[in-house]
Amino acid sequence: QLIEQERENKPIVVIGTTKAGLFRWQGGKWTRLTTENGLLSNSVKGIAVWKEKCYVATENGISVLKNDGTMDNRLNRLLDFPSRKIKGICVEYNDKYPGFHLKDSRLWIYGLQWLGYLYLDESNNNEMVLFQPGISFSKEGEAYNLLPDYRGGLYIGNLYDVYYFNYKTRTLESLHMINGLISEAAYSMFIDFEKNVWISCGRGLSKISSRMFSNFQMIHGLLEDEVTAVLEIDPGKFVLGHNRGLTFWDGNKFLEMPFFGEDGAELPFTRVLDLKADSK
C-alpha cells in the first residue's frame, strides 16, 4: 500500500494484489485497474512511487500508473529487460538523507536471475545498469522486498530468505539468524531517519543499526575462532590467518585451508603472523 500526494494535498492510495490487479483510492472512491485498463499483468509484485508516478512490478513487466489513472508501458520496450518477470521494485531517493549523494534517484528492479537500476531523471536515456548477483532463494515466493540502506547496498528478501547486495563491491551476502536476525524471512522492510533498517517477520522484528561491524567465528565458517592476520586481496575479498591455516572470504562464503605436513597430517600449530600480497 502506497500513498502519493495530489496537487490538492489529498492522498491517493494504491494497493497491489496477487491476482486481482490494482486498487486505487482517490477522492473517496475505489477503482480497480486490471489488464483491461492497460496493466501488463494482474499479478502485482510491488509498487514504487516517484514524482506522482507508480512504477508497478508485474509478472509481465513494469507498468507506470500516472496520477490521472492512465497506464504507460513504454519502459519495457525502451529497456529490454533480461526477463519480463519482475519480482521486486523500489526507489533509492537521492535526497532522502543529508550527505548521501546520487546524481538522481534510482529505480531498482529485481527480475528472474538479475538485478538492475536506472536513473529516473529525464536525461538518463533509459540506460540500465545490470548485475547478476547469483541470488538463490530457498523457496520462491509472491512478495520480494527491496530496500536500499543508503550506505552502498540493497536488502532483498521474501518470506524465506534475506540477502544483502553491496553494489559497490558487487558482493552478495545471505543473512541468517546466526548474523543476528530474529528469523530468516522478510515480510516487509523499512529504513528510518537514522538509517536503521527494520525487518519484520513471523517471529518479530529485527533492527539493523549498522553494517560496519559484524562478528564472525568458527560457527560462521572460519577455520578457527582466533584470527591472527587479515589481508584484503580484492575489494570485499579477504584472507584470514590462524594458528593452523587460512580462511578465504570471497564475498559470499568462507573457505577453510588448514596447513598439512609432508606426511599429509594436519600441522597442529603453524601460527600465521602476517599476510602480504605480491605483484601476482
Rounded Cα–Cα distance for residues 13 and 4 (Å): 7
pLDDT value at position 46? 92
pLDDT value at position 124? 62
Structural domains for the chain: 2-208 (2.130.10.10), 216-280 (no CATH)
> Which one, of 50, 180, 185, 181, lies nearest residue 121 by Cα?
50
Q: How confident is the model at residue 280 (pLDDT cuts 50, 70, 90)?
A: low
**DSSP assigned state of 260:** B
Considering the chain, what percentage of its residues have pLDDT values greater than 90?
A: 38
Asked whether the CA dihedral 132, 133, 139, 143 is positive or negative, the reply is negative
pTM for this prediction: 0.74
Q: What is the pLDDT of residues 130-145, one digit of tens each?
A: 998 777 776 766 678 9
Q: How confident is the model at residue 271 (pLDDT cuts 50, 70, 90)?
A: confident
Q: How confident is the model at residue 74 (pLDDT cuts 50, 70, 90)?
A: very high
Q: Decide if pLDDT at 93 tops 50.
A: yes
Q: Which residue has the cell 600480497?
A: 277
pLDDT value at position 213? 40
pLDDT value at position 3? 54
Q: How confident is the model at residue 36 (pLDDT cuts 50, 70, 90)?
A: very high
pLDDT value at position 211? 64
> Which one, of 171, 138, 164, lies nearest residue 156 by Cα?
164
Rounded Cα–Cα distance for residues 113 and 119 (Å): 21
Q: Decide if pLDDT at 21 tops 90.
A: yes
pLDDT value at position 6? 59
Region 172-196 average pLDDT = 84
Between 241 and 92, whose confidence is greater? 92
Rounded Cα–Cα distance for residues 67 and 7 (Å): 10
pLDDT value at position 8? 65
Between 175 and 7, whose confidence is greater? 175
C-alpha cell at 56: 508497478
From first CA to last CA, the distance across the chain in angstroms is 53
Q: Decide if pLDDT at 273 tops 50.
A: yes
Q: What is the pLDDT of residues 119-129, one digit of tens each?
A: 987 666 678 89
Q: Decide if pLDDT at 154 tops 90.
A: yes
Q: Decide if pLDDT at 95 tops 70.
A: yes
Q: Decide if pLDDT at 39 tops 90.
A: yes
C-alpha cell at 204: 518479530
> Which of 83-87, 133-137, 155-159 is predicted with the least confidence, judged by mean pLDDT?
133-137
* CB contact at 8 A, 89 and 107: yes
pLDDT value at position 212? 47
Q: Decide if pLDDT at 99 tops 80.
A: no
